[in-house]
Structure 1
Amino acid sequence: MAAARLVLGSGSPRRREILESLRIPFFVRIPHVDETVQPGEGPDAYLERVVGAKLGAVHALLDEAEQQTAAIILVADTSVIHRGEILGKPANVEHAEAMVRALAGDTHEVKTRFALASSATGLPFHAETVTTKVTFRALSDEEIRDYAASGEGADKAGAYAVQGFGASFVSRIDGNYSNVVGLPACELVVALQRHAPR
Structure 2
Amino acid sequence: MIDDSHPLLLGSGSPRRREILTTLGLPLRVAAAEVDEAGRAGEDAAAYLERVTLAKLAAARRLRQAAGAGAILVADTSVLLGDSILGKPRDEVDARAMLRALSGREHQVWTRFAIAGGDRADVAAASAPGLAEALHAETVVTRVRFRELDDGEVASYAATGEGLDKAGAYAIQGIGAFAVARIDGSYSNVVGLPACEVVAALRATGLLARFPLSLARSS
Tell me the CA shift for residue 64 of structure 1. 7.2
Map 1:1-198 → 2, pairs under 5 A:
3=3, 5-63=7-65, 66=68, 70-121=69-120, 123-196=133-206
Superposition misfits of 4+ residues, deviation over 4 angstroms: none
Distance 1:64 1:160 in 2: 34
1:59–1:119 CA contact under 8 A, matched in 2? no
Letter of the aligned partner of 2:55 in structure 1? A
Which has the larger share of strand?
A: 1
Give the alignment's TM-score, normalised by structure 2.
0.85
Distance 2:150 2:70 in 1: 49
Aligned length: 195
2:2–2:71 CA contact under 8 A, matched in 1? no
Q: What secondary structure, in the 3-state scheme, does the structure 2 residue paired with 1:94 have?
A: helix
Tell me the CA shift for residue 63 of structure 1. 2.8
Once the two structures are overlaid, the 10-residue window that deviates more, 113-122 or 72-81, is 113-122
Q: What secondary structure, in the 3-state scheme, does the structure 2 residue paired with 1:116 have?
A: strand
2:74–2:115 CA contact under 8 A, matched in 1? yes
- Unaligned runs of 5+ residues in structure 2 are 123-132, 210-219
Tell me the CA shift for residue 62 of structure 1. 2.7
Q: What secondary structure, in the 3-state scheme, does the structure 1 residue paired with 2:99 have?
A: helix
Letter of the aligned partner of 1:156 in structure 2? K
Tell me the CA shift for residue 2 of structure 1. 5.6
Give the alignment's TM-score, normalised by structure 1.
0.94
Q: What secondary structure, in the 3-state scheme, does the structure 1 residue paired with 2:42 have?
A: coil
Letter of the aligned partner of 1:9 in structure 2? G
Tell me the CA shift for residue 29 of structure 1. 1.1
1:2–1:23 CA contact under 8 A, matched in 2? no
Distance 1:43 1:100 in 2: 20
Cα distance change, pair 127–142 in 1 and its aligned pair in 2 (3 A): same
Q: CA RMSD in A?
A: 1.6
2:104–2:148 CA contact under 8 A, matched in 1? yes
2:29–2:67 CA contact under 8 A, matched in 1? no
Q: What secondary structure, in the 3-state scheme, does the structure 2 residue paired with 1:35 have?
A: coil
Tell me the CA shift for residue 36 of structure 1. 0.2
Distance 1:172 1:19 in 2: 25
Q: What secondary structure, in the 3-state scheme, does the structure 1 residue paired with 2:135 have?
A: strand
- Unaligned runs of 5+ residues in structure 1 are none
Q: What secondary structure, in the 3-state scheme, does the structure 1 residue paired with 2:201 have?
A: helix
